[in-house]
């Protein structure tokens, strides 16, 4: 179970990552709209998993995800500039595609077919 401190840090990271993706959508996100749906932080605050929903753009979701993964160091550096005064350690980042919306749509489609 996540502590109150972890939840606060997760919220701050989610907000700041969303801002970074919005500001750098052309370069990092290949013009797609990227939404940070969930951030999970390890108890020692050294590692964070961010789940992303990717919409639109001329590239596939996998290409946009790979572009984001390739720019992880740049994203972490930007987080450090933004949060350096507040956080002692900027966590290492891992980005995953959040497929919960696709899963919900599939369940909805199956239920409508029956």
The whole-angstrom distance between residue 90's C-alpha and the CA centroid of its chain comes to 15
Residue 50 vs residue 85, higher pLDDT? 50
CA–CA dist 63, 93 (Å, integer): 18
pLDDT at residue 1 in the model = 67
Residue 114 vs residue 92, higher pLDDT? 92
Please count the other Cβ atoms lying within 10 Å of the Cβ belonging to residue 79. Answer: 20
Query: pTM, whole model, 2 decimals?
Result: 0.83
Average pLDDT of the chain, as a whole number = 88
pLDDT at residue 36 in the model = 93
Q: Which domains does the chain have, with CATH numbers?
A: 4-113 (3.30.300.20)
**Vertex 19: Cα angle to 25 and 69 (nearest 5):** 55
pLDDT at residue 58 in the model = 73
pLDDT at residue 26 in the model = 83
Structural contact between residues 35 and 18, judged by C-beta atoms closer than 8 angstroms:
yes
Please count the other Cβ atoms lying within 10 Å of the Cβ belonging to residue 94. Answer: 13
């Amino acid at each position: 179970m996540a502590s109150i401190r972890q939840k606060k840090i997760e919220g701050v990271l989610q907000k700041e990552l969303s801002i970074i993706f919005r500001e750098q959508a052309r370069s990092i996100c290949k013009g797609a709209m990227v939404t940070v749906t969930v951030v999970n932080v390890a108890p020692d605050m050294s590692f964070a998993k961010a789940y992303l929903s990717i919409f639109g753009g001329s590239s596939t979701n996998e290409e946009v995800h790979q572009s984001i993964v390739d720019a992880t160091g740049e994203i972490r550096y930007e987080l450090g500039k933004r949060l350096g005064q507040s956080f002692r350690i900027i966590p290492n980042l891992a980005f995953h595609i959040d497929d919960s919306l696709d899963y919900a749509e599939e369940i909805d489609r199956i239920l409508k077919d029956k």
